[in-house]
Amino acid sequence: MEGDTIAAISTPVGEAGIGIIRVSGPKAHSIGEKVFRPKGGGGQGAAGLPDKLESHRLFYGHVIDAGTSEVLDEAMACFMASPRTYTREDVLEIDVHSGPRVLSRVLSAVLAAGARAAEPGEFTRRAFLNGRLDLAQAESVMGIIRAQTDAARRAAVEGLDGRLSKEIGRARRGIMQALAYIEATLDFPDEEIDPVPEGWLESRVEEALRVIEQLVASAGTGRILREGLPTVIAGRPNVGKSSLLNALLGTERAIVTPVPGTTRDAIEEGLNVRGIPLRVIDTAGLRQAVDAVERIGVERSRELVHRAGLVLLVLDAAEGLTADDREIAQELVGTGAPVLVILNKVDLGKPTVTERDIREVLPSGAVLLVSALTGEGLVELEEAIYQAVTGGRVMLGEGVAAGTARQEAALREAARYLNEARNSLRTTGGLDLAAIDLRGAADSLGRITGETAGEDLLDEIFSQFCIGK
Ligand code: GDP
């Protein structure tokens, strides 16, 4: 347990029904007694005022400035004694009305009573340091807060429950067993080590590798759930790209939240298609730029397409395939991203663009007939998007270990080490080398759950949290 006591406003600072100030550390109780004055027969029966804040009970009363005795607000306060708390330290939570002034006055009163202002993520960091959560679970807390869709939320809740940690623990145990055996063999070559069955060592490594490879495979899904799939709407001007985006936004049932844009020359919108979060980018167009200013936009568009996980190529069904369309389609071939071709404006009559025209320039990718104006074909488009992303697999929900970019990188590193170790074991006398790689793999995995995470890594992770979390 750390020595000092931290405090922060744990709810967004704005006008709302309730705002919460959270305090954690050894002084939590004494701070509560200084700044909170319970009213009525709180915890001590009808006889009178409770003389102290009993643990895990909610009290009604007032928050006061301990210096001047000024009443700052009506409040509810709950003191929770260590260790059954979020941080495993003593915790005090004070609920007041939410408003910038009242929250900052209450926080000041708490600080004056002996706390210091918490750093971003410091409550969760303490939960980690005190062993209540491992690092992967701590990151899941942020995953829950940031989840934009229900699927992302579900995956993060599973992460908090320790699903990823359990799998990693399983792989790491196998590696440690193999390592212990190798080290014993190397350190005491003359002694009789308990013999293991033929192939035991290899199978420990194989098993660990299998677990890790499955986790790596699911990490891509985790990333999509967390960050949204970068999706580009491509097409020459006036084919209906913006209309299509608006139509898709209009049909969605979930709440749409604007994603902080990384590009200035393209609109970026968060879109939820059957539980899959998409970050849709409506580009400035891909045709050759005529002047320098436009060229910047076009270059940006190219770059975006190359990084896209999905491209929606919009064509004007009524106008036929133009030279610009062909050029854009050519650009898309070779990006590797799945392309869905959308023949828009089908409300204007039978399309003049045929599937064969399209196949000449774009060998694969579903072709969909859509009208952004009337909404025709949008359900089919959503289905096609879902299929393109999931590949027909039911990917969202079960079996997903949502990984952050950091976790994914560490998993890949562990898999590389394990592959090397396996190769070394196949050659005679490779035990030394195998041990080095197994140690590397165990360290990589330990960085995910936190056993081998240094201060720098912890700083990096927890600084991404909000204050009060
Ligand atoms: P963008 O330049 O590709 O973004 O195209 P816009 O979305 O701005 O659309 C260009 C024009 O086409 C606008 O006048 C739209 O109203 C019209 N438009 C877009 N989609 C449809 C459609 O499905 N049917 C019809 N008839 N018009 C459409």
Q: What is the pLDDT of residues 407-417, one digit of tens each?
A: 999 999 999 99
pLDDT at 299: 67
Residues 232 and 381 in one domain: yes
Out of 312-321, 387-396, 447-456, least confident range: 387-396
Q: Is the pLDDT of residue 357 over 90?
A: no
Respond yes or no on whether the N-terminal peptide bond of residue 258 is cis (omega within 30° of 0).
no
For 125-136, letters b (16+ CB in 10 Å) and e give bbbbbbebbbbb
Residue nearest to atom 14 of ligand 1 (CA): 238
Considering the domain boundaries, does residue 460 fall inside one? no
Out of 74-88, 229-243, 402-416, the most confident range is 74-88
369 and 383 share one domain = yes
The CATH number for 32's domain is 3.30.1360.120
pTM over 0.85: no
In short, whether 87's Cβ falls inside 6 Å of ligand 1 is no
241 with 258, same domain: the answer is yes
Domain edge (last residue) among 96, 111, 131: 131
Q: Is residue 17 part of a domain?
A: yes
* Same-domain status, 44 and 185: no
What is the structure's pLDDT at 338? 85
Q: Which of 78, 106, 131 is the last residue of a domain?
A: 131
Is the CB of residue 383 below 6 angstroms from any atom belonging to ligand 1?
no
Looking at the fold, whether 241 and 379 belong to one and the same domain comes out as yes
The best mutation among 232, 233, 238 to test binding of ligand 1, ranked by most ligand atoms within 8 Å of the C-beta, falls on 238
Mean pLDDT of 56-65: 95
Residue 238 has pLDDT above 50, yes or no: yes
Residues 364 and 429 in one domain: no
Most confident of 205-214, 292-301, 356-365: 205-214
| Of 81-85, 298-302, 428-432, the least confident | 298-302
- Which phi-psi region, left, alpha or beta, contains residue 264 (left: φ > 0; alpha: ψ -120 to 50)? alpha
The CATH number of whichever domain residue 311 belongs to comes to 3.40.50.300
Which of 233, 241, 243, 370 to probe ligand 1 with, by most ligand atoms within 8 A of CB? 243
Split into its structural domains, the chain has a count of 3
Mean pLDDT of 173-202: 84
222 falls in which pLDDT band (50, 70, 90)?
Answer: confident
Instruction: Give the ligand 1 atom nearest the CA of 374.
Output: 23
Does the residue 463 lie in any domain? no
Dihedral sign computed on CA atoms, order 184, 189, 195, 199: positive
Kindly state the DSSP code that residue 466 receives in the 8-state scheme: P
Q: Is the CB of 347 under 6 A from ligand 1?
A: yes
Q: Are residues 116 and 157 in the same domain?
A: no
In-domain check, residue 170: yes
How many CB atoms neighbour CB 347 within 10 A?
A: 15
Q: Which atom of ligand 1 has the smallest separation from the CA of 348?
A: 26
Same domain, 347 and 206: no
CB of 239 sitting under 6 A from ligand 1: yes
Residue 317 is part of which domain span? 228-390
Q: Is residue 236 located within the same domain as residue 374?
A: yes
Can you tell me the mean pLDDT for 34-59? 71
**Residue at a domain's end among 105, 131, 157:** 131
Q: What is the mean pLDDT of the chain?
A: 84
Ligand 1 center from residue 378 Cα (angstroms): 15
Q: Rounded to the nearest whole angstrom, what is the distance from the C-alpha of residue 316 to the centroid of ligand 1?
A: 9
Cα dihedral 362, 367, 373, 379, rounded to 10, equals -140
C-beta of 243 in contact with ligand 1 (< 6 A): yes
Same domain for 168 and 109: no
